[in-house]
Structure 1
């Protein structure tokens, strides 16, 4: 992975570039699903404060999507970022779902968002769908460009995504409309295919490379490293379980099984014994692999952003990783941050 490691503020050094592109991302990024009402109401002022807190913490990479709150995430994020220097931040959004206006009232809670159901999502991985989705996103954001565009969740549309959507993104990149392209999913198999079979700059892997599971190590991360491409890690808390390991915590967008809650609690015992919060270890863990360029943290309030930035800044002693392995909570072959990594992340 190509990487330029420069200072980028107190919470987020270093800055790395995505693959062979010139697009920089701060090591800690802001995932903007939560500010669009993911799993609960978030008011306009609260959302604005969260994004502003991310900026104040030195975060300069922001990720959004039309899916998040049927466009609300893009509108709220754009409202804040429009007041910032455009060359001072990196923004990614996604394509694959086109939003179609609807009538009839109701809310979007069936899709996980506590917002009015103003639109219907329509899957569209055609070339025209990619271009329309990006144009609509720019309108909602109120910005003239995004830096990174990702194919969003093409799980059930694999062949169309490779045959039609990906070439459309490649053309947009060659025209200079976007600076980097890739795919974002909650699985690793298809993302590995994007890395080996296409010329993407980066992929966003959500939930599959965390302290609790490391499926991305099988093919995705080796493919990224071999191809000089980058991986952005989302869902580092596995929907919340690694942030607050208590009964009833969320895992993979639903209530966590009792067995996984127990495993997270045992991990928490290990990290606390070394004076480290579990969420600090969860934020640091992915950087043990050299292909990882950035970790996205989703936050619904300014306090959550500030806590994530503070936990990210905390060095995690090597003894924590050793203890997790000794207790059978982390496989021996899984790479972890070492002294060199801690030096560049702090």
Structure 2
């Protein structure tokens, strides 16, 4: 593979552009939905405004993130911003319903005292209801991308085909421009490609420096003309300096931890920071159209963009590719 030169002489995947780093970056919004820690509304809004100021104009969200909180905060933050100047992606499959007796100030890692709870529904009516709820929270009448969210976790064996059919109706109605599936599960991604009709596969944490389980899916998607949105390139933070066993996507497996040790050793040999290498590796893979990364502040977004633009030695990429090929 050629070495990337994001923001330099060799743009991501060879595509020219005014600023490849900000164009490829999508801000993931789980953090502004209070994932892992509470955040004030004004701080969440500043994250969104900071992204726009830095040239990042694509935002990925979901009803699950803070039980609607991330979508609401994103909608408020984007008030007054021309709608044609930014892009939104959200997800369907979980409809938020009132549960008056729900208690506690946390739910599935999100710090929220909401009385809403998610209910699985990949039916035509459920998918439409989900997107309409999202439109209300996002204060919009259309999104550029809608994705089935974690269909593999629903227990519904037909979630992928039924959900894609429902999304296709929304696309035909002009409510969404593109459709697809967001999942860490290889079988769900395979089923999406088998069924057809998807424009995008969002794959979190499975096309990274330490986990390449979805490599075959990415090659198949490329051959089928389906774009990849590569999400969670830091594997829950491990590749960005978080404690090795404190991944937001669960503890690293033994294989991931061993791969991390090899990558860290090689990076140290060439005095290469691991985080920029992780970002650039995730962005340069075939079929990758966008890189979805969360942030808790504008400074984190700036650091990620700087990492994408950082020149790294060609010999490092040559050694890394050889190491990864030997691991395959």
Same fold (TM over 0.5): yes
2:270 aligned to which of 271, 274, 297 = 274
Give the equivalent residue in structure 2 for 1:331: 325
Q: Which of the numbers 210, 219, 224 marks the counterpart of 2:221?
A: 224
Q: 2:73 aligns with which of 69, 73, 76?
A: 76
TM-score normalized with structure 1 length? 0.84
Q: Match for 1:169 among 163, 167, 170? A: 167
C-alpha distance in structure 1 between counterparts of 2:291 and 2:65, whole Å = 18
SS at match of 2:260: helix
Which 5+ residue runs of structure 2 have no aligned equivalent?
A: 1-12
Q: TM-score with structure 2 length normalisation?
A: 0.88
Q: Can you list the C-alpha shifts for 1:246-281, whole angstroms capped at 9, x where unaligned?
A: 44432x623335774454244223224434321101
3-state DSSP of counterpart to 1:120 = strand
Q: Per-residue CA shift, 1:42-101, capped at 9, x if unaligned?
A: 221221121112112211211000000000010111112232221111110000000012
Q: Which runs of 5+ in 1 are unaligned?
A: 13-25, 335-346
Aligned partner (choices 170, 181, 200) of residue 183 of structure 1: 181
Contact 1:97 1:122 in 2 (8 A): yes
> What secondary structure does 2:236 align onto?
helix
Q: In the aligned structure 2, how far is the partner of 1:242 from the partner of 1:303? A: 18
Which of 88, 91, 99 is 1:94 aligned to?
A: 91
The 8 Å contact of residues 233 and 294 in structure 1, kept in 2 or not, is answered as yes
* SS of the residue 2:17 aligns to: coil
- Larger deviation, residues 159-168 vs 196-205: 159-168
Structure 1 equivalent of residue 9 of structure 2: none
When structure 1 is superposed on structure 2, of 255-264 and 31-40 the one drifting more is 255-264
The residue that corresponds to 1:205 in the other structure is 203
Q: Return the offset for 1:235.
A: 1.2
Q: Does 1:238 align with 2:232?
A: no
The within-5 A match list for 1:274-293 is 274-293=270-289
